[in-house]
Amino acid sequence: MTTLRAVIRARVSADFLLDVDLAVEPGITMLFGASGSGKTTVLRCLAGLRTPESGRITIGDRVLFAADTGVDVPPQQRNVGYVFQQLALFPHLTVEQNIHYGLSALDQDTRRARSREIAASFRIEPLLQRRPDQLSGGERQRAALARSLVTNPQVLLLDEPLSALDHASQSRIIEDLRNWNAARGIPILYVTHSHREVFALGARVIVLERGTVLADGLPEHVLEAPEQESLARLTGHENVLDAVVESIRPDAATMQCRLSRSDVELEVPRAKGEPGSSVRIAIRAGDILLATEPPRGISARNVIAGTIGALRREGATVILQVDTGVPFEVHVTPGASESLGLAVGRPVWLVIKTHSCRTVV
């Protein structure tokens, strides 16, 4: 089993230094971060398309880059598969010629056999004689994967390759990729900025922000229970609120907090902090329920009265600003917004479960 290890320091711009230390085990690891976090720079350094200022990159025992000994294996010899965001299929060649491109050292028969085998793995046999511009989006992704993997790379790097596809096509392609990798077990680093993709595809996630690794581990640990405020915002916790711990209920493993500069109280899961200390509470805008009458007889511990301050629609989401003394962002569906007759100025009640609240630092 080979592991990709990389310590990379690279100056991206005057005020942006990429400084990461990664270990990518066999299987799919997601490299997650907002745009501008340095994800693509990491991939380019790993592939040899960019030389880091310092660091060390190894696959198993093989050294690809070592600043101290001056080793810098050129991209041609790294044996790294790379699927670009725009795929970079050669437009003047057929799918088969694209797949053969990386096999020029082999004889005709071996090449044919290898390309037929990979075409079967990625279900593109009927497309071999077509040009890239005659393929659908999903077919192009499959062709690009096949072209990279037919060379039997030691590592596969994917730069947001599936972000343009619908979820169903994405998961079918990933399923084929997993099957292909089941026998080989190479490390696959998959760059994405979508936390939905992280949950759908990855066994492990590395979170990158402003050029440093913020967290890594299992998606459900790292992204569902973020420990840092920046991570909380990155993972869709739109509300990050300052609060002070009022009291602690050890028996219920909860604590009562009052939001700063307001009378609003929230019950949140017990975390570090004594009464009187400050905490920050992160809540996903989509986890907040909205009622147009005071709700009664419900299990949720937090019911907060407020008024709708602003309302706008973005795609399939209606985004509300609710003023309760502190502003809350709440997301509802357009259908819910219509049937409740939500409008600016309307009084509403926010319902928040205790376990929808995360304390972050």
Q: Which chain residues interact with another protein by CB under 8 A?
A: 47, 49, 74-78, 80-82, 84, 86, 88, 90-92, 101-102, 104-105, 133, 147-148, 151
Question: What single-letter DSSP state applies at residue 36?
Answer: T
Nearer residue to another protein within complex by CB, 133 or 274: 133
The least distance separating another protein from the CB of residue 7, rounded to whole angstroms, comes to 22
Nearer residue to another protein within complex by CB, 152 or 321: 152
Q: Which amino acid is at 287?
A: D
Largest CA distance in the chain: 77
Encoding tokens for residue 4? 């990709």
Going from the C-alpha of 261 to that of each of 130, 244, 277, 288, 358, the distances in angstroms are 64, 10, 15, 21, 20
The least distance separating another protein from the CB of residue 27, rounded to whole angstroms, comes to 22
Beta-bridge partners for 243: 259, 279
**Which of 196, 212, 160, 153 is CA-nearest to residue 2?**
153
The least distance separating another protein from the CB of residue 137, rounded to whole angstroms, comes to 11
Residue 138's CB is within 10 A of a number of other CB atoms, namely 18
Nearer residue to another protein within complex by CB, 71 or 336: 71
Nearer residue to another protein within complex by CB, 134 or 260: 134
The least distance separating another protein from the CB of residue 169, rounded to whole angstroms, comes to 18
Strands 254-259 and 155-159, by their bridges, are: unpaired
Nearer residue to another protein within complex by CB, 107 or 133: 133
The least distance separating another protein from the CB of residue 82, rounded to whole angstroms, comes to 5
